[in-house]
A and B are shown apart, each in its own frame.
Chain A
Amino acid sequence: GNSVTQMEGPVTLSEEAFLTINCTYTATGYPSLFWYVQYPGEGLQLLLKATKADDKGSNKGFEATYRKETTSFHLEKGSVQVSDSAVYFCALILIAGGTSYGKLTFGQGTILTVHP
Chain B
Amino acid sequence: EAEVAQSPRYKITEKSQAVAFWCDPISGHATLYWYRQILGQGPELLVQFQDESVVDDSQLPKDRFSAERLKGVDSTLKIQPAELGDSAMYLCASSLGPATNLFFGPGTRLTVL
A residues sitting closer than 8 Å to B (CB atoms) are 4, 32, 36, 42-46, 49, 89, 91, 93-95, 100-109
Contacts and interface: CB of A to CB of B under 8 A. Distances in A.
Main secondary structure, interface of A, reads strand
Interface in B85-109: 91, 93, 97-99, 101-107
A104 B91 CA distance: 13
Interface residues of B, number: 24
A32 B42 contact: no
Contact of B99 (A36, A95, A107): A95
Contacts of A45: 104
A49 B48 CA distance: 21
A49 B91 CA distance: 20
B45 interface: yes
Interface string B40-55: 1111110010000001
A103 B91 contact: no
Contacts of A105: 45
Given A32-B99, A43-B104, A103 B56 contact: yes
